[in-house]
Amino acid sequence: MFHLLAMIVVALSVGFGLSWYALTDGRLFGVLQAGPWAAWPDVGSAEPNPYTRAHLARVAGLQLGIGEGLQFTAAADSDGMPLTRDCTYRIQGKTPVAAFWTLSAIGPSGVNLARPDGTATIRSTAIARSNDGAIVLYVGKRLAPLNWLELTGNGPFSLVLTLYDTVVSSGISSAQTTMPAIIKEECL
Amino acid sequence: MTRTLLWLLAGAVLGGIIHIAVILTLPALADRTIWTRVEGLQARNKIVLLPDVKPGEANPFSLDPALSYGLCQLDLAEGPAFVNGIMPDAFWSMAIFNRAGTIVYSTTNRDGIGRTLQLGIFNANQTRLLAQQQIDIAEGLLIVEAPSDQLFVVVRLAPPHQAVRARFETELSKITCGPKQ
């Protein structure tokens, strides 16, 4: 009797736990990982794999087609610590080749967290860059120099980097995907 | 001890089976699918602009605040569908979704189409008629064969500045969409 109960507990926790993990983190299940950034690479293909299909059903949003671009999200900084609105983050480095990209901050339910009467998203064509083309962006509630995405509220958040018309979706391996780093600056 | 381990192993195997069943049945079990959301927009055979994403407000379609979106729902059972329009001079892209929310075709203005969006969507049967020249189509039409009849088209447009957004959205809303060429 004890054995049967133990087996059922193990079966249920493995079955549902693994499913939940596959659709939230998904690192072992075909999610493209580049530093803190993650993307479902076949989300825009005509024949997505079963995990991507389940992810699509869960989100029920309008994803980008494989020819249109690819969306990356990050819920942690480059050191693996969860992103929180108590801190300011510096996003620095280079992005993969794309027609343009946008960067937004969203809360757990997908709500945009920018200041209501400010800019909702940073767009690559409207930022100050250094001479070598690298980007330096600041995300947080405290006033920051150069390119600043001002957030409101408290609690965790995720960054969404959407690359439009990018080479990433045309089969370049994750090893060659250079994504900017997310570095924690001062915290409140 | 071995007996306990065997039971736990059996549990893990059963868990694996449950996991596979959950992943495979989840798309069929979801009750708020992308299709039910699209039905709510009343965009059958016409372009409907999706509301702009504002900070602090719900964003059910996971849209990018920088872009403007036009959506149109089609049923190829009514005949081949056509999407026509002249787009503003900025980045735009379009995708054709099926009922399950999978993209069956997508393209951008950078694929050499420029500003003219001129698209014909045909199902397998209509493609055969097209090959037999039994359907008349305009010259230069981009032909897409869709595997199913129930579809929706999403046109994304990226206004370069907020100042031109209203004008660009007017242009976007002028796109025609439906069984008439």
CB B95: neighbour CB atoms within 10 A? 23
pLDDT, one tens digit per residue, over A21-32 is 888 777 677 788
> Is A61 within 8 Å of chain B by CB?
yes
CA distances from B87 to A41, A68, A72, B76, B123 (A): 28, 16, 27, 24, 26
User: Terminus-to-terminus CA distance in chain A, angstroms?
Assistant: 54
> Is A167 within 8 Å of chain B by CB?
no
Number of helical H runs and strand E runs in chain A: 2, 10
Transcribe A108-144 into DSSP letters.
TTS-B-B-TTS-SSEEGGGS---TTS-EEEEEESS--
Model-level pTM? 0.88
Closest CA in chain B for residue A118:
B55
Question: Which helix (H) or strand (E) element contains residue B7?
Answer: helix B2-29
pLDDT 10s digit of each residue in chain A, 188 long? 888 898 899 999 989 998 888 887 776 777 888 889 988 888 888 888 888 888 888 888 899 998 899 999 999 999 999 999 999 999 998 888 888 999 999 998 889 999 888 888 999 888 888 788 788 999 998 888 888 999 998 999 999 999 998 877 655 555 456 889 999 998 87
ipTM value, please give it.
Answer: 0.86
A14, A67, A120 ranked by CB distance to B55: nearest = A120
Please report the pLDDT score of residue A182 as a whole number. 94
pLDDT, one tens digit per residue, over B124-176 is 888 888 888 887 788 778 889 999 999 999 999 999 888 899 999 999 999 99
Residue numbers in A near B61 (CB within 8 A): 61-62
pLDDT, one tens digit per residue, over B69-101 is 999 999 999 989 999 999 988 899 999 999 989
CB contact under 8 A, B102 and A10: no
Res. B61: pLDDT tops 60? yes
To the nearest whole Å, the CA of B138 is away from the closest chain A CA by 25
CB contact under 8 A, A7 and B56: no
The stretch B103-122 carries a mean pLDDT of: 86
Q: Which domains does chain A have, with CATH numbers?
A: 31-187 (2.60.120.600)
Closest CA in chain A for residue B57:
A111
